[in-house]
A and B are shown apart, each in its own frame.
Chain A
Amino acid sequence: MSNAYTTVIGLEVHVQLATHSKLFCRCSTQFGAEPNTQTCPVCIGMPGTLPVMNRQAYQLALRTAVALNCDIPEFTKWDRKQYYYPDLPKGYQISQYDLPMSDDGFLEIADAKDRFEPKRVRIIRAHLEEDAGKSIHDEAAGKADSEIDLNRTGTPLLEIVSQPDMRSAAEARAYLEEMKLLLTYIGVSDCNMQEGSLRCDANVNLHLDHEGESIATPIVEIKNLNSFRAVERAIEYEAARQYKEWQENSEPPKARQKYLARPKQTRGWDDAAGVTRAQREKEESSDYRYFPDPDLAPVITKGDEVQAVREALPELPAALRERLGEDYGLGTYDADVLVNQGRALVDYYLAVADGSGDPKAACNWVTQDVLRVLKDQESTIDQFGVSAENLAGLVKAIDDGQLPSSRAREAFEVMLADGSAVDAAITKLGIEQVDESALEDLCRELLAANPKIVADVQDGKQQAVGALIGQAKKKNPNADPALVRQICLKLIGEGV
């Protein structure tokens, strides 16, 4: 059934820009405040008030648009989008209609697990608008009223609209993850989905072949997607649902025509039930009667300003992955793991790799041990107990033979516990190189004391020698297990 149709997906992402104050007034945008304590006459739509554009909001929007490879037209303006809803006190949202601040960009996605070919998802436009408030309805309590909180009203949002370029739920998820990573790297948003600073709607339909004719099923917009996982599940559910709906309506031709002519529908994702449900259409909701907001001045952005923004961009995730591959010899998977953890962790890795001169070993330590500890401690790299310099020292000590790899993890734990450098950890653990003749003496002693094991090995049970390794470690913690095993087998072979 998977080749019976192609799933076509476009995503609309709303990202809250990380400003201190709102887009058109100076109320705080801090999340979690008591309801209706962060509002003023401008954002609750009192007559006679004047909105003034937040410079930082425009700058963050511009930085994002440039990072998404968008064109930045010299002239942009804001328009009123009119509709009635209890969380929209002015009766219109200030948004952008025909002259958005940016258009025609792209974001490249790839999958470290190779589930899909790398691709470029085109971006139609990204525009700057204000958020609405929140309505809270306690259905369980069966209350007759909804309560409106206008704290969020007027918070700056960047709406980023993709072309319908994605072909699977996995691609849609990859797009969102790469978008989130990019936005975090350029520092324009905290992208916290729980707090609503990153929101997503998905437009989904199917392309299929019907008796040689190319068919596109009516587009469905899915709302209420509260996590990346929800986006994936909703798309998968919706594709199957639409295919079933198509099968039920494909014949006779009259029913088919009627079905295919159906206008775009909005459905809400019910995460608990795992289904999408048709939402009641807002009356005349498509007629927003946009017109230019006469209270706001347009913004003119010259080419040299755009160029300056472009030059000031930090290294973006895609470029960083490439550098880790080319300059540090890391595979796609490892580079992906590091970059996805954020810039601070990558910087830590780079310091360990550069300091030790062993990028591959540095990668193993960071992606395995460091990430494991961070996960256990629920902390971040800036709070991590082993400095990059010290971890580089540890990697170097192993490479130089100063620290046997069999005891490296112990040394790491000591360094983690007290913040010491590798030399101090080696001293503290009493780690010293055991020279081979001392080790041989130890092995002879053990063999003499364990004739049964010697006999077993002589009978062909080589694994019996394992019991001696534990004993050797007890007598000398610095004894290298691999070496003990090797020497014991050699001595038994020689008939000692």
Chain B
Amino acid sequence: MSLTRQDVEKVALLARLQLTDDELATMTDQLAQIVDYVDQLAEVDTDGVEPMAHAVEVANVFAADEVRPSLPREAALANGPRTNGRGYLVPAVLGD
């Protein structure tokens, strides 16, 4: 399987990345190499092997339902590009 330019355009759109034509060409080439490399795994015979859902062999990691202090609002908002001191400001969200 090899990646097409259209595949990369679609993934870029989904990831909200704007790529120039040159970047798109480079990305298509590089991503195709990565995918082809990983594709080698397809040669391994996996009959009778349980699909792996997780990389580490742990399960049932829980925390108790106890409230702990949250961030002060100023700290939480500090990284927002635009705020009004109460909330993050973003371009209008309409019709939903």
A-side interface residues toward B, CB under 8 Å?
A: 19-21, 26-28, 34-41, 44, 46, 52-58, 75, 77, 82, 84, 86-87, 99, 135-137, 139, 143-150, 223, 268, 279-280, 283-284, 287, 289, 292, 294, 296-300
Contact = CB atoms under 8 A, between A and B. Distances in A.
A294 B54 contact: yes
Contacts of A268: 95-96
A contact face: mostly helix, strand, loop, or mixed: loop
26 contacts: A20-B67, A27-B68, A35-B87, A36-B88, A37-B73, A38-B70, A44-B71, A44-B76, A52-B63, A54-B62, A54-B65, A55-B62, A55-B64, A58-B62, A75-B53, A135-B96, A137-B92, A145-B90, A147-B87, A150-B76, A223-B96, A268-B95, A287-B14, A297-B54, A297-B60, A297-B61
A37 B95 CA distance: 27
Nearest to B16: A84
B39 to A, nearest CB: 17
Contact of B86 (A36, A56, A99): A36
B87 A283 contact: no
B contact face: mostly helix, strand, loop, or mixed: loop
B19 interface: no
Nearest 9 A/B pairs, CB to CB: A56-B65, A147-B87, A55-B62, A26-B68, A148-B88, A297-B61, A146-B93, A86-B90, A135-B93
Contacts of B58: 297
Contacts of B71: 39-41, 44
A280 B92 CA distance: 14
Contacts of B65: 19-21, 54-57
Contact of B14 (A21, A26, A289): A289
B70 A145 contact: no
Interface in B50-96: 53-56, 58-68, 70-71, 73, 76-77, 79, 82, 84, 86-96
Interface centre among B16, B63, B91 (most CB of A within 10 A): B63
